[in-house]
Amino acid sequence: MTLDRFYPIFDGPDWLERMLPLGVKLVQLRIKDMAEPDLRAALARSQALCRAHGAVMVVNDHWRLAIDEGCDWVHLGQEDLDIADLPAIRRAGLKLGISTHDHAELDRALSLEPNYIALGPVYPTILKKMKWERQGLDRVTEWKRRIGDLPLVAIGGMSVERTAGAYKAGADIVSAVTDITLNKDPERRLRQWIEATR
């Protein structure tokens, strides 16, 4: 199955309710710091919304709940990989995306045979404090050369205006968070993203 080239990340079903009707086809649910019963409910609601709109939902981090709720995809960061039960994830039939920031992390990720690789931050990002400087487009090109046919997600400081450069450098998919969620008109911005990526 081919993943959509635009990959927004939202922190709850309320965002999905607003954005899925506009045509989002691939989305990550990234929820931090929520009690498990609420998290489970948010995940179930998000999953139902995505299925109703024919969108692929990727669950960030919460692989156990993703298995319980019959989700299709999970995304793990490097720290998550240390504690995740990868055989259980595979047995449940979940597809796997993995974050990478340097060569050692890429080697590790590739050894786990993921379904996509994410590289970030391509540009400086305000989303989270990172020990990595911006990776730049040359690194995107290098990563694509290394991973071949595996989809490459460019994330970090991405904007509508930067998508063409990321694709040209080798990214298959471009991911955005704050460019949409902090925009004064998120719906309009999301429409611009869809226009720029399809």
pLDDT, tens digit (0-9, with 9 covering 90-100), for 3-17: 999 999 999 999 999
Residue range 178-195, pLDDT digits in tens:
999 999 999 999 999 999
What does the pLDDT average to over 155-160?
95
Q: 20 near 27, Cβ under 8 Å? A: yes
The two three-digit tokens of residue 8, written as one number: 């927004």
Sign of CA dihedral 75, 170, 173, 187: positive
Distances (CA, A) of 14 to 36, 42, 53, 65, 116: 18, 9, 14, 19, 26
Domains of the chain: 6-193 (3.20.20.70)
pTM: 0.96
